[in-house]
């Protein structure tokens, strides 16, 4: 997927030291005491650089708490002046942007429910035109990389180059054990196609429950994500929104201390051995492709034979037996059965395509 995004690397617009950028704060600003108490405790954790708070909350149903609105921005500003922490809020309308600017919010983010709608994103982009403020774009609710990139492009086209993405997981029909499935391959592909774009992981909305946060945060860092946004509350059990996924600031500090920061590259000796191992993997992959090519030749031969004898492409009983046999054999070779199943489904889909072409020639 080609994209022409022009973005400034994160370290050029936020002092992240050796990183990662840690953002924390309550799901929602609820009252002055809650926000200030939480923020003051967070300010004592040296890794925390930015405080988040939902001021306007996108709720599924009407007539429930929808955020405190403008007054919350005042509390946030008070906190920023007192602690020196940077601040960030979600914006979903031009009016939100105007108010966030009025109260000196440092970074804006676009929520998952907004990213799904190009009209909404364009309205925000139009409002941002000519303003120099960093913007972070959460992934859309469903796993659609193009829609995510499209939203980033709209904001970028408005002249915003201090741009980052937030990976908060995806809603699918089966998310267990997560609230939103991480589908790490999507943010990885985003990073691959837009190398300068920082991707911040939001483990809170991925996990939905605090027990899963440590492992998911570690995984995000091991996948070279540039930061973490983790929800916190001085007393999560009484939080009005997302109670079960928020951490106390002291539990957040424990989580941060337990994180292992790995480097993306090692010393010369390490790199030399890695290169050797990678060369071996390259050879194995070439063997694999040569074998797949031989397999395709055999598939064609079978396709011709079926066509001459007026036999259908698919024999379902054969497919069933083949997959089971391969899964059993794979298990003997210590290969995960789900992996083998997916691989064979893909390989077989290709056979169907090849033989269907032969039938239609
Ligand atoms: C949030 O950050 O509190 C939020 C509403 O997140 P999302 O847009 O990812 O659902
Ligand atoms: Mn939340």
pTM for the structure as a whole: 0.86
And the tokens for 230? 């983790």
The least confident of 1-10, 15-24, 332-341 is 1-10
How far does residue 205's CA lie from ligand 1's centre (Å)? 7
The closest-lying atom of ligand 1 relative to the alpha carbon of residue 242 is 3
How far does residue 102's CA lie from ligand 2's centre (Å)? 24
pLDDT digits 0-9 by tens, 109-128: 999 999 999 999 999 999 99
Mean pLDDT within 45-72: 96
- Asked if the model's pLDDT at residue 347 lies above 70, the reply is yes
Task: Please report the pLDDT score of residue 3 as a whole number.
Answer: 74
Ligand 1 pocket mutation, candidates 25, 138, 187, criterion most atoms within 8 A of CB: 138
Ligand 1 pocket mutation, candidates 64, 205, 208, criterion most atoms within 8 A of CB: 205
pLDDT digits 0-9 by tens, 305-327: 999 999 999 999 999 999 999 99
Q: Is the minimum distance from the CB of 168 to ligand 1 under 6 angstroms?
A: yes
Gap between the Cα atoms of 155 and 21, Å rounded: 22
CA separation, residue 352 to residues 158, 339, 343, 359 (Å): 46, 20, 14, 10
The closest residue, in CA terms, to atom 2 on ligand 1 is 27
- Asked if the model's pLDDT at residue 1 lies above 90, the reply is no
Q: Is the minimum distance from the CB of 112 to ligand 1 under 6 angstroms?
A: yes
- Asked if the model's pLDDT at residue 272 lies above 90, the reply is yes
The confidence band for 2, taking pLDDT boundaries of 50, 70 and 90, is low
And the tokens for 177? 């054990």
- Asked if the model's pLDDT at residue 11 lies above 70, the reply is yes
3-class secondary structure per residue, the chain: CCCCCCCCCHHHCCCCCCCCEEEEECCECCCHHHHHHHHHHHHCCCCEEEEECECCCCCCCCCCCCCCCHHHHHHHHHHHHHHCCEEEEECCCHHHHHHHHHCCCCEEEECHHHHCCHHHHHHHHHHHCCCCCCEEEECCCCCCHHHHHHHHHHHHHCCCCCEEEEECCECCCCCCCCCCECCCHHHHHHHHHCCCCEEEECHHHHHCCHHHHHHHHHHHHHCCCCEEEEEECCCHHHCCCCHHHCECHHHHHHHHHHCCCCCCCCCHHHHHHHHHHHHHHHHHHHHHHHHHHHHHHHHHHHHHHHHHCCCCCCCHHHHHHHHHHHHHHHHHCCCCHHHHHHHHHHHHHHHHHHHHHHHHC
Q: Is the minimum distance from the CB of 205 to ligand 1 under 6 angstroms?
A: yes
Q: Is the minimum distance from the CB of 49 to ligand 1 under 6 angstroms?
A: no
pLDDT digits 0-9 by tens, 146-199: 999 999 999 999 999 999 999 999 998 888 899 999 999 999 999 999 989 999
- Asked if the model's pLDDT at residue 215 lies above 90, the reply is yes
Q: Is the minimum distance from the CB of 167 to ligand 1 under 6 angstroms?
A: no
The closest-lying atom of ligand 1 relative to the alpha carbon of residue 138 is 9
How far does residue 218's CA lie from ligand 2's centre (Å)? 20
Task: Please report the pLDDT score of residue 264 as a whole number.
Answer: 85
Tell me what the pLDDT averaged over the chain comes to. Answer: 96
Task: Please report the pLDDT score of residue 284 as a whole number.
Answer: 98
How far does residue 290's CA lie from ligand 1's centre (Å)? 46
């Amino acid at each position: 997927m080609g994209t022409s995004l022009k973005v400034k690397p994160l370290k050029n617009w936020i002092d992240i030291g050796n990183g990662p950028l840690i953002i924390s704060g309550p799901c929602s600003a609820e009252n002055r005491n809650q926000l200030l108490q939480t923020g003051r405790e967070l300010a004592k954790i040296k890794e925390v650089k930015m405080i988040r708070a939902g001021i306007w909350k996108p709720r599924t149903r009407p007539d429930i708490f929808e955020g405190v609105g403008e007054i919350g921005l005042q509390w946030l500003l008070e906190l920023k002046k007192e602690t020196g922490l940077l601040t960030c809020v979600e914006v979903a309308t031009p009016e939100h942007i105007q108010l966030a600017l009025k109260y000196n919010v440092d970074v804006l983010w676009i929520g998952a429910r907004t990213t799904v709608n190009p009209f909404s994103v364009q309205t925000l982009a139009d409002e941002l035109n000519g303003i120099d403020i960093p913007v972070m774009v959460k992934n859309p609710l469903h796993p659609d990389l193009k829609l995510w990139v499209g939203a980033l492009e709209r904001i970028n086209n408005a002249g915003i180059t201090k741009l980052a993405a937030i990976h908060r997981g995806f809603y699918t029909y089966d998310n267990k054990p997560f609230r939103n499935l991480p589908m790490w391959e999507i943010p990885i592909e985003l990073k691959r196609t837009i190398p300068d774009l920082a991707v911040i992981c939001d483990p809170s909305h991925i996990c939905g429950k605090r027990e899963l946060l440590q492992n998911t945060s570690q995984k995000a860092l091991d996948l070279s994500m540039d930061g973490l946004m983790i929800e916190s509350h001085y007393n999560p059990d009484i939080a009005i929104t997302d109670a079960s996924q928020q951490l106390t600031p002291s539990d957040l500090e424990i989580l941060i201390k337990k994180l292992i920061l790995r480097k993306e590259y090692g010393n010369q000796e390490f790199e030399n051995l890695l290169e050797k191992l990678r060369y071996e993997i390259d050879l194995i992959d070439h063997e694999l492709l040569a074998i797949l090519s031989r397999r395709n030749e055999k598939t064609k031969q079978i396709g011709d034979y079926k066509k001459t004898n007026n036999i259908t492409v698919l024999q379902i009983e054969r497919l069933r037996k083949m997959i089971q046999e391969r899964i059993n054999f794979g298990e003997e070779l210590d290969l995960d059965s789900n992996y083998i199943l997916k691989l064979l489904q893909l390989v077989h889909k290709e056979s169907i395509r090849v033989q269907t072409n032969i039938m239609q020639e």
